[in-house]
């Protein structure tokens, strides 16, 4: 089956929503982005514009492609502005209550034939699907951060996802020049099931005084060839997101090996969420 998707709605103009808008617009889709904050929508547009300018400087794209891509991304001030989209990707915060509320507002106005996807990094696709009016046209499409750079997308079907939905989602991702990994609907799928316990262990290593922030990150960068140290990566992902994923693993798999490190909990309680709040394991002020 070919790709039937021509237009993409995105809910959430944060790091992930912005990155998804960037790659969809570059692939030629009409993109509309909804966010409760008008400021976030503006910041997103400026960030995409800057990232595309870097791609022009490094010869990955041209100025005219950049301008055309930017023109394809339009804000959707009301949820109803997404009504005619063929695919809507929800990239809101990693909180089940927030996501359910969004689906409640979106489903009554969204074209009944449209596919609804979530960019959740850990939550059950089957459970999220059950709170929509279209479990058979609901699917997990999980992009990695930074979206324009990372080649992987995890594709996750819920128990009720129909084959046609799966095939359309697959054909859509192929047009974005990404590699697909199919994961079963288990807590945190594949990447985060493996990555987040590693990050959590790095935080325990700090908590127990085995090494400093710099020592831990240098050890993993130079000793294991990771592009970023685990604490720098945690700041990049967002410590609140890291904590939610560890909680999903801990609750969903009922194994104490997934216990979130108390230091991670404390940082999140302090509002030290990493790069986005200017403070995490590193100070960005």
Q: Which residues face 180 on adjacent strands?
A: 153
Cβ-proximal residues to 201 (8 Å cutoff; 6+ apart), any chain: 230
Rank residues 79 and 153 by Cβ distance to ligand CAA and give the closer one: 153
Is 94 marked within a binding site? Answer: yes
CA distance 110 to 147: 26
Contact 228, 236 (CB under 8 A): yes
Report the residue number whose CB is nearest to ligand CAA. Answer: 121
Which is catalytic among the residues 121, 122, 168, 244? 121
For 39-107, the DSSP string reads: HHHHHHHHHHHHHHHHHHHTTSS-HHHHHHHHHHEEE-SSGGGGTT-SEEEE---S-HHHHHHHHHHHT
Rank residues 85 and 176 by Cβ distance to ligand CAA and give the closer one: 176
CA distance 22 to 49: 9
Is 145 marked within a binding site? Answer: yes
Which is catalytic among the residues 119, 122, 124, 154? 154
CA distance 178 to 187: 23
Which is catalytic among the residues 122, 192, 200, 244? 192
Rank residues 110 and 155 by Cβ distance to ligand CAA and give the closer one: 155
CA distance 183 to 193: 11
Is 121 marked within a binding site? Answer: yes
Q: How far is the CB of 111 from ligand CAA (least distance, A)?
A: 28
Residue 6: both structure tokens together: 């021509």
Binding stretches for ligand CAA (CB under 6 A): 51, 54-55, 58, 60, 121, 144-146, 148-150, 191-192, 195, 227-228, 233, 237, 241
Is 17 marked within a binding site? Answer: yes
- With b meaning 16 or more CB within 10 Å and e meaning fewer, what string describes 230-267? bbbbbbbbbbbbbbbbbbbbbebeeeeebebbebbbeb
Is 200 marked within a binding site? Answer: no
Is 12 marked within a binding site? Answer: yes
Is 60 marked within a binding site? Answer: no
User: Quick check: is 154 catalytic?
Assistant: yes
Rank residues 6 and 60 by Cβ distance to ligand CAA and give the closer one: 60
Q: How far is the CB of 94 from ligand CAA (least distance, A)?
A: 8
Return the H-helix or E-strand segment holding 157: strand 152-157
Q: How far is the CB of 237 from ligand CAA (least distance, A)?
A: 4
Q: How far is the CB of 208 from ligand CAA (least distance, A)?
A: 24
CA distance 222 to 237: 21
Q: How far is the CB of 121 from ligand CAA (least distance, A)?
A: 3
CA distance 31 to 48: 13
Rank residues 76 and 220 by Cβ distance to ligand CAA and give the closer one: 220
User: Quick check: is 142 catalytic?
Assistant: yes
State the binding site. Answer: 12-17, 35, 94, 99, 121, 145, 276
Q: Which sequence positions are flagged as catalytic?
A: 121, 142, 154, 192
Binding-site positions for NAD(+) read 12-17, 35, 94, 99, 121, 145, 276
């Amino acid at each position: 089956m070919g790709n039937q998707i021509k237009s993409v709605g995105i809910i959430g103009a944060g790091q992930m929503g912005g990155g998804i808008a960037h790659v969809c617009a570059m692939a030629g889709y009409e993109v509309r982005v909804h966010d409760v904050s008008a400021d976030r929508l503006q910041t997103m547009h400026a960030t995409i514009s800057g990232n595309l300018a870097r791609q022009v400087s490094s010869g990955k794209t041209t100025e005219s492609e950049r301008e055309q891509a930017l023109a394809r991304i339009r804000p959707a001030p009301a949820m109803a502005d997404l009504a005619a989209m063929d695919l809507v990707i929800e990239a809101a915060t990693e909180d089940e209550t927030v996501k359910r509320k969004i689906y409640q507002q979106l489903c009554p106005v969204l074209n009944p034939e449209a596919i609804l996807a979530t960019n959740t990094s850990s939550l059950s696709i089957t459970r999220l699907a059950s709170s929509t009016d279209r479990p058979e046209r609901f699917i997990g499409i999980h992009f990695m951060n930074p979206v324009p750079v990372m080649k992987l997308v995890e594709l996750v079907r819920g128990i009720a996802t129909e084959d046609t939905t799966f095939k359309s989602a697959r054909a859509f991702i192929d047009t974005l020049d990404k590699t697909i990994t199919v994961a079963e609907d288990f807590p945190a799928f594949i990447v985060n099931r493996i990555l987040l316990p590693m990050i959590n262990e790095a935080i325990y290593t700090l908590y127990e005084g085995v090494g400093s922030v710099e020592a831990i990150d240098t050890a993993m960068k130079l000793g294991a060839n990771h592009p970023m140290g685990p604490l720098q990566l945690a700041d990049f992902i967002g410590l609140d997101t890291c904590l939610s994923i560890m909680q999903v693993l801990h609750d969903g798999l009922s194994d104490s090996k997934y216990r979130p490190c108390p230091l991670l909990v404390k940082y999140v309680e302090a509002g030290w969420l990493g790069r986005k709040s200017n403070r995490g394991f590193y100070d960005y002020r």
